[in-house]
Amino acid sequence: MMRIDIITVVPGLLDGPFSHSILKRAEEKGLATVKVHNLRDYATGKQKQVDDYAFGGGAGMVMMIEPIAKCIQELQSERDYDEIIYLTPDGNTFNQNMANELSLKGNLMMLCGHYKGVDERVRQKFITREISIGDFVLSGGELAAAVLADAIIRLIPGVLNDETSALTDSFQDGLLAPPVFTRPAEYEGMKVPEILLSGHQAKIEDWRFEQSVRRTKDRRPDLMERKDF
């Protein structure tokens, strides 16, 4: 079973994503589990403070090393982790290849950033990988952690009802997915392409590939630079 531990100062933000749909199904099947840890449980004092002013001045607060270190070390005492991931805008941009790689791991830990980020010594001492979900800034790393967990867990064999569906998603072969259709075959004069109704599976696959290439060229030409057709 894959286990993902997420450290956050706002655990309530993660209640929804892991209690529905595919992620819930993965836990019910015993294939993956996600545990959310409230960083304030590892803080001291009446206020359970987890942030402080930055040395050198400047706007914004910085997450303190001591509560984070205490939480990480407690989790590490219970099991070994393949990766300790920090969700941050300046990390490596998440993509499908990264999701595929991480889906083969056993235990992952994710630290959600907040405020102006974490004390740099956290990154130096504990973090093994830094990941961003895009060139924009969120209020915290919780939504990014949910995105990573969803993208990773859905790839675990047995999580999806039709395991082949994950293998035909966009980006798995470096291309965007082709157009898809379902019933009715005609709607207000708009017809499903005849090839998809032909029953000739080899020709259908050729059509889908051609459509994937065309859609990728139109919408994500940057991806085509990496392909050789």
In a domain, 14, yes or no: yes
Same-domain status, 102 and 172: no
Residue 134, annotated ligand binder?
Answer: yes
Which residue blocks in the chain are alpha helix, DSSP H? 21-28, 65-78, 96-102, 120-125, 142-153, 164-167, 201-219, 221-224
136 assigned ligand-binding residue: yes
Task: Name which of 27-41, 71-85, 113-127, 214-228 the model is least confident about.
Answer: 214-228
Domain extent for 37: 2-153
Same domain, 108 and 179: no
Query: What are the phi and psi torsion angles at 131 (to 5°)?
Result: -130, 140
147 is in an annotated binding site: no
Give the count of domains, the chain: 2
Tell whether 107 and 176 lie within a shared domain: no
What is the model's pLDDT at position 170?
59
Q: Do 211 and 173 meet the contact criterion of CB atoms below 8 Å apart?
A: no
- 39-89 pLDDT, tens digit per residue, is 999 999 888 999 999 999 989 999 999 999 999 999 999 999 999 999 999
Token readout for 195 is 């090839």
Q: Say yes or no: 13 and 63 in one domain.
A: yes
The confidence score (pLDDT) of residue 174 equals 84
